[in-house]
């Protein structure tokens, strides 16, 4: 074999060895990558159920990192690409989930897509119609849901006014007793256990917004036609709420309030005095009527500075759509019906008062 031929064979052998080596390295690399991907995408070692929070607005990448950090998946980097390949992730629902290490990736994805979250423990409470902010604070504190002082402090914060559309209409007044009086809607609520005083107040304010959406579409036009502001209307509604028990009388009493305002008469509504006194009295004394307060409608003409309680939707509707009558006076019948006698003139009113007193005497005997 001549030298040239030998060199060619040797060169070919070296080339073959080099190519084989390169191919071997490539195969080892591919195998390593395949092993890395296989290992990274297989279920994590089985374990106990873990509560995992998917934050509101969290990206699929952030969710993947959370799952790896809590041991639900092995590799967040690979899981991110797996989500892209499967076109998954954007539909994940926020909330707290019970996930178990050892779940298959598709099982995890399906659960996050379904929004099958852990149901938070909740509490239910009722705020009766006609309650004041102070009464609400006392009731909720007695039920162990709030701290009374913190509730009242939060209810007096100007920052709360941005929490609802209705509250944003509150007028500034130094003489107002409670900033949010009348704007915490009376209703039965269900909230997450441990909700703060601020959370509860905001929820009640926002409920008023929702209830106002149930009114006829022309309610703001009706308000303008009456020549009163939203805050004044809520004040009238609160007086109707505290003065009237029978549903059919709400609009009548609201009409009387408007009649008196239009005639520049004192409203002389007992509920406003009781609000100043801070307690419900079956019978007001002459000294009670002299209490010095802008809320005392026996001493001051016009409306008080703001609502005296939280009105129901029915009372709000009555204040928006009062019954058009010629009545200026009313007095409770005191016959057990919880109704009122209505009259146009003061002379008729005095007659009705005597009749009311007779009813009371008969019931007492």
Q: What is the pLDDT of residue 206?
A: 96
On the question of pLDDT at 7 being above 70, the answer is: no
Domain segments of the chain: what residues? 50-114, 122-212, 227-364
On the question of pLDDT at 324 being above 60, the answer is: yes
Mean per-residue pLDDT over the chain, rounded: 89
On the question of pLDDT at 1 being above 60, the answer is: no
Q: What global pTM score does this model have?
A: 0.73
- When mean pLDDT is compared across 20-24, 76-80, 168-172, the lowest value belongs to 20-24
Q: What is the pLDDT of residue 3?
A: 66
50-114 CATH, one of 3.40.30.10, 3.30.1490.480, 3.40.462.40, 3.40.50.720: 3.30.1490.480
Looking at per-residue confidence, does 156 or 363 come out higher? 156
On the question of pLDDT at 18 being above 70, the answer is: no
Percent of the chain with pLDDT over 70: 88
Looking at per-residue confidence, does 2 or 43 come out higher? 43
Question: What HEC string does the chain produce?
Answer: CCHHHHHHHHHHHHHHHHHHHHHHHHHHHHHHHHHHHHHHHCCCCCCCCEEEEECCCCCHHHHHHHHHHCCCCCCHHHHHHHHHHHCCCCCCCCEEEEECCCCCHHHHHHHHHHCCCCCCCEEEEECCCCCCHHHHHHHHHHCCCCCHHHHHHHHCCHHHHHHCCCHHHCCCCCCCCCCCCCCCCCCEEEEECCCCHHHHHHHHHHHHHHHHCCCCCCHHHHHHHHCCCHHHHHHHHHHHHHHCCCHHHHHHHHHHHHHHHHCCCCCCCHHHHHHHHCCCCCCCCHHHHCCCCCCCCCCCCCCCCCCCCCCCHHHHHHHHCCCCCCCCEEEECCCCCCCEEEECCHHHHHHHHHHHHHHHHHHHC
């Amino acid at each position: 074999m001549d030298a040239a031929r030998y060199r060619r064979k040797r060169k070919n052998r070296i080339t073959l060895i080099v190519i084989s080596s390169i191919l071997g390295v490539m195969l080892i690399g591919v195998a390593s990558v395949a092993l890395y991907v296989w290992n990274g995408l297989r279920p994590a070692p089985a374990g106990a159920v873990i509560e995992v929070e998917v934050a509101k607005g969290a990206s699929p990448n952030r969710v993947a990192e959370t799952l790896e950090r809590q041991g639900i998946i092995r590799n967040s980097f690979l899981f991110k690409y797996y989500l892209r390949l499967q076109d998954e992730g954007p539909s994940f629902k926020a909330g707290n989930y019970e996930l178990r290490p050892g779940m298959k990736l598709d099982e995890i994805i399906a659960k996050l897509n379904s929004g099958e979250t852990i149901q938070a423990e909740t509490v239910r409470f009722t705020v009766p119609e006609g309650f004041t902010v102070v009464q609400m604070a006392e009731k909720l504190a007695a039920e162990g849901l709030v701290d009374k002082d913190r509730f009242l402090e939060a209810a007096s914060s100007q920052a709360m006014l941005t929490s609802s559309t209705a509250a944003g209409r509150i007028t500034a007044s130094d003489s107002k007793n409670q900033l949010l009086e009348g704007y915490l809607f009376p209703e039965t609520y269900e909230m997450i256990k441990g909700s703060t005083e601020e959370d509860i107040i905001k929820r009640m304010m926002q409920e008023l917004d929702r209830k106002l959406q149930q009114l006829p579409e022309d309610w703001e036009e009706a308000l303008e036609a009456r020549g009163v502001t939203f805050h004044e209307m809520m004040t009238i509604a609160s007086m109707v709420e505290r003065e009237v028990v029978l549903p059919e009388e709400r609009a009548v009493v609201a009409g009387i309030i408007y009649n008196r305002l239009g005639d520049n008469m004192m409203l002389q509504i007992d509920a406003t005095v009781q609000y100043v006194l801070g307690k419900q009295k079956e019978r007001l004394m002459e000294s009670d009527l002299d209490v010095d307060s802008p809320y005392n409608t026996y001493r001051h003409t016009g409306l008080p500075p703001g609502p005296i309680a939280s009105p129901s939707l029915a009372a709000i509707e009555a204040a928006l759509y009062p019954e058009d009558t010629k009545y200026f006076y009313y007095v409770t019948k005191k016959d057990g019906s919880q109704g009122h006698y209505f009259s146009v003139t003061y002379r008729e009113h005095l007659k009705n008062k005597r009749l009311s007193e007779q009813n009371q005497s008969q019931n007492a005997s």
